[in-house]
A and B are shown apart, each in its own frame.
Chain A
């Protein structure tokens, strides 16, 4: 029994923190606010040089074959930095979809270039769980073999810069059974429209499918189980991001409270602020342990992953939102300005709360799994 990070994991986290402090500062985050891509390709290449996009790709495809926990640590740091861009959707979700369910030819075609960050993938799963909103996208058998996809997927992250997406669809001829397809974004009949939204560190799109043809090898299997796994990994990833975000808003509030003076003393000496900060810590530390546990079981005992991921997502997305709200309040008026960086995390927390299922959705899953 050893519950904690290994030395190499501590080192990985430390490197990520330092790297993002240097290349992903709040100023860097702001620099992409107005850009349509919504992220820096140069930074993305640097991340690839550090091996981050290759973490979950097996060695046979030029990857590092690391664990979900390793990835979660990098994602925690990405949350701490409010890193913009498709990293998690490509290097974790699209990559795992291929590693765990891709046909041999699809793996061959994509994994190597995903690892090198020559390709960007994303996922179009929207909806909160298997079956939910699945009928928004329908897959019909094409006359000459393969599949025809039609319908829409909303809130697809970074579809406008992705080379392919892993899309969830219901199979028409099989009563809407869940299935996953790898769809290239350049496919005829596919239309991507950027949706402007609150969290400026993320980009999401509405993707319309108008009889988009995909070949047989584009199907990822087994559809239902893999879809569930991807939703769990997505929930975990957002939870990890929220952990880092919580640390950041806490740190900002504590630092500010030491320097801002009112009534002739630092505001951090007021108990109202001290207690608000302490409550964030009390939320944060157990949630961190839960996250490590969930990330660990994703590899070690996948049968317990669904419950753990649901718990981590339900807890951490609320912890982050609550911490961000408290942190804004602890800053006073300056915290409400566009100029101050805090709203970057405040809004990211809101994005995290709904992305891959609301806390209430995940609590209901916990209830169902435990058989209340």
Chain B
């Protein structure tokens, strides 16, 4: 065990801290937000600029290879950046799906041409990505997907429908799973395509989420032409690539920085609310709940450092690496639920009512965090994976 940082890492931290102190306010953006929410085009442009500036300053995707715009630094350096962004309440990155999901997948599975073409624009948020996995008949059973792609000459022709596609309404590109061999067993006829969202034949219909915002969408494909070179990995063997992306997605959704941020905000809220003529944070029962949550957040923080160390040493994390999405998203929901209890009736007030406290942050966050328990593979599916792949419990379906 060595919990100290190298001089280079410490230097990175203080450089970044100074940079953030100067630049967060200038971004014209408040707090973390993105994650594919309802944003007008001006705000989106501002978030893109923010990511670009951060990238130019050297603080995006530090561990990516140098030839694709990264700095080939260790994963701990990236963790330092995430921590500092959290402390500084820096705006979140609008290109997160590209940065955290597609980028790492392409680095492993993409062709040289694909890496050169797509990775740099992920870094600068010049191209925003969405994930076209789920379909009306293929949710938890993702491999049941039916969206069809036929190779005709040097193009795939895509027909079908995706659903729950977060951020499709303002995405430039989609990484998409399609069926290329309907006759093959279901896991062996799937391919992974990169699709330009401006292609003729694509129609995006936003869906309103329970939060009242448009976050995810239906996406319809009608004879959409996709260049054959946009195939990632081998034809019909996209399932493996799809799973690589899912692993990255689950780590992103379970990221502990999110939980740390929520806990900090919850504690501040509990200190500001009053119960029995004293701050709620002094209430013996609520303190117990707060402490139990802080302990879970702290445990996840060290768990993440453990996994980072594994990665740094090129070790496979196995079972411990399978729990992040399950634990992180459940924890975030519990944090938000505690905040709602703290708010009492104020939790009901609409965001812009004077009765709404803490800028109306929590009711939205509470619902959003429930969505994250479902997206990326539900809590049930995560438990299936842990039991069957992690513990080797018998699978009979």
Residue on B nearest A301 in the bound complex, by CB = B3
Is B1 within 8 A of A274, CB to CB?
Answer: no
Q: How far is the CB of A257 from chain B (nearest CB, A)?
A: 6
Is B1 within 8 A of A4, CB to CB?
Answer: yes
The size of the chain A interface, using a CB distance under 8 A, is 44
**Would you list which residues of chain B between 342 and 372 have a CB under 8 Å from chain A?**
none
Is B2 within 8 A of A2, CB to CB?
Answer: yes
Fill in one digit per residue for B63-82: 1 if any A CB lies within 8 Å of its CB, else 0: 00000000000001000000
**Would you list which residues of chain B between 164 and 179 have a CB under 8 Å from chain A?**
none
Q: State in angstroms the CA–CA spacing of A315 and B303 once bound together.
A: 14
Is B287 within 8 A of A266, CB to CB?
Answer: no
Q: State in angstroms the CA–CA spacing of A5 and B1 once bound together.
A: 6
Is A363 within 8 A of B309, CB to CB?
Answer: no
Task: List, in ascending order, chain B residues with CB within 8 A of A4's CB.
Answer: 1, 306, 309-310
Is A269 within 8 A of B396, CB to CB?
Answer: yes
Q: Does A364 contact B (CB under 8 A)?
A: yes
Tell me whether A258 and B302 are in contact in the complex, defined as CB-CB below 8 angstroms, given that A296-B1, A364-B288 are known contacts: no
Is B387 within 8 A of A3, CB to CB?
Answer: no
Q: How far is the CB of B276 from chain A (nearest CB, A)?
A: 15
Q: Does B386 contact A (CB under 8 A)?
A: yes
Tell me whether A69 and B1 are in contact in the complex, defined as CB-CB below 8 angstroms, given that A289-B302, A372-B287 are known contacts: yes
Is B393 within 8 A of A268, CB to CB?
Answer: yes
Is B1 within 8 A of A289, CB to CB?
Answer: no
Is A278 within 8 A of B387, CB to CB?
Answer: yes
Q: State in angstroms the CA–CA spacing of A364 and B290 once bound together.
A: 10
Q: State in angstroms the CA–CA spacing of A366 and B298 once bound together.
A: 11
Q: Does B62 contact A (CB under 8 A)?
A: no
Q: How far is the CB of A185 from chain B (nearest CB, A)?
A: 37
Task: List, in ascending order, chain A residues with CB within 8 A of B300's CB.
Answer: 286
Partner of A282, one of B291, B386, B388: B386
Partner of B291, one of A1, A3, A288, A367: A367
Q: Does A186 contact B (CB under 8 A)?
A: no
Q: Does A279 contact B (CB under 8 A)?
A: yes
Is B388 within 8 A of A274, CB to CB?
Answer: yes
Is A277 within 8 A of B393, CB to CB?
Answer: yes
Fill in one digit per residue for A1-24: 1 if any B CB lies within 8 Å of its CB, else 0: 111111000000000000000000
Is B390 within 8 A of A296, CB to CB?
Answer: no
Partner of B299, one of A271, A281, A289, A370: A289
Q: Does B295 contact A (CB under 8 A)?
A: yes
Partner of A3, one of B9, B295, B302, B394: B302
Q: Does B12 contact A (CB under 8 A)?
A: no
Is B319 within 8 A of A281, CB to CB?
Answer: yes
Most buried by B among A254, A296, A363: A363
Task: List, in ascending order, chain A residues with CB within 8 A of B267's CB.
Answer: 370, 372
Tell me whether A281 and B386 are in contact in the complex, defined as CB-CB below 8 angstroms, given that A3-B305, A265-B396, A286-B300 are known contacts: yes
Tell me whether A372 and B281 are in contact in the complex, defined as CB-CB below 8 angstroms, given that A69-B1, A277-B387, A296-B3 are known contacts: yes
Is B326 within 8 A of A282, CB to CB?
Answer: yes
Q: Does B271 contact A (CB under 8 A)?
A: yes
**Would you list which residues of chain B between 280 and 334 have a CB under 8 Å from chain A?**
281-282, 284, 287-288, 290-292, 294-296, 298-300, 302-303, 305-306, 308-310, 312, 319-320, 322-323, 326-327
Residue on A nearest B323 in the bound complex, by CB = A282
Is B303 within 8 A of A289, CB to CB?
Answer: yes
Is A292 within 8 A of B1, CB to CB?
Answer: yes
Q: Does B391 contact A (CB under 8 A)?
A: yes
Task: List, in ascending order, chain B residues with CB within 8 A of A289's CB.
Answer: 299, 302-303, 305-306
Task: List, in ascending order, chain B residues with CB within 8 A of A370's CB.
Answer: 267, 291, 294
Q: How far is the CB of A342 from chain B (nearest CB, A)?
A: 18
Q: Does B124 contact A (CB under 8 A)?
A: no
Per DSSP, chain A at the interface is helix
Q: State in angstroms the CA–CA spacing of A303 and B147 once bound together.
A: 58
Fill in one digit per residue for A198-213: 1 if any B CB lies within 8 Å of its CB, else 0: 0000000000000000
Q: Does A195 contact B (CB under 8 A)?
A: no
Q: Does A93 contact B (CB under 8 A)?
A: no
Partner of B302, one of A6, A278, A292: A292
Most buried by B among A277, A278, A296, A315: A278
Task: List, in ascending order, chain B residues with CB within 8 A of A277's CB.
Answer: 386-387, 391, 393
Task: List, in ascending order, chain B residues with CB within 8 A of A31's CB.
Answer: none
Partner of B292, one of A5, A271, A286, A314: A314
Task: List, in ascending order, chain A residues with CB within 8 A of B306's CB.
Answer: 3-4, 288-289, 292
Task: List, in ascending order, chain B residues with CB within 8 A of A290's CB.
Answer: 295, 298-299, 302-303
Tell me whether A273 and B393 are in contact in the complex, defined as CB-CB below 8 angstroms, given that A311-B298, A367-B290, A372-B270 are known contacts: yes
Is A281 within 8 A of B384, CB to CB?
Answer: no
Most buried by A among B3, B271, B300, B382: B3
Q: Does B275 contact A (CB under 8 A)?
A: no
Q: How far is the CB of A96 from chain B (nearest CB, A)?
A: 19
Q: How far is the CB of A262 from chain B (nearest CB, A)?
A: 12
Task: List, in ascending order, chain A residues with CB within 8 A of B319's CB.
Answer: 281, 285
Q: State in angstroms the CA–CA spacing of A267 and B384 once bound together.
A: 14
Is B383 within 8 A of A275, CB to CB?
Answer: yes
Tell me whether A363 and B394 are in contact in the complex, defined as CB-CB below 8 angstroms, given that A1-B9, A292-B302, A372-B287 are known contacts: no
Q: State in angstroms the CA–CA spacing of A303 and B38 once bound together.
A: 46
Task: List, in ascending order, chain A residues with CB within 8 A of B394's CB.
Answer: 257-258, 265-266, 268-269
Interface residues of A (CB under 8 A from B): 1-6, 69, 254, 257-258, 265-266, 268-269, 271, 273-275, 277-279, 281-282, 285-290, 292-293, 296-297, 300, 311, 314-315, 360, 363-364, 366-367, 370, 372
Interface residues of B (CB under 8 A from A): 1-6, 9, 76, 267, 270-271, 281-282, 284, 287-288, 290-292, 294-296, 298-300, 302-303, 305-306, 308-310, 312, 319-320, 322-323, 326-327, 380, 382-384, 386-388, 390-396
What are the nearest 3 A-B pairs in CB distance? A274-B387, A286-B299, A289-B302
CB pairs A–B below 8 angstroms (20 shown): A1-B6, A2-B2, A4-B310, A5-B1, A265-B396, A269-B396, A271-B383, A274-B388, A277-B387, A279-B383, A282-B327, A286-B296, A289-B303, A290-B295, A311-B294, A311-B295, A315-B296, A363-B291, A363-B292, A364-B291
Known: A277-B386, A282-B327, A292-B302. 17 other contacts (CB 8 A): A1-B9, A3-B308, A269-B396, A281-B323, A282-B323, A288-B303, A288-B320, A292-B1, A293-B3, A297-B3, A314-B292, A315-B296, A363-B292, A364-B291, A367-B291, A370-B267, A372-B290
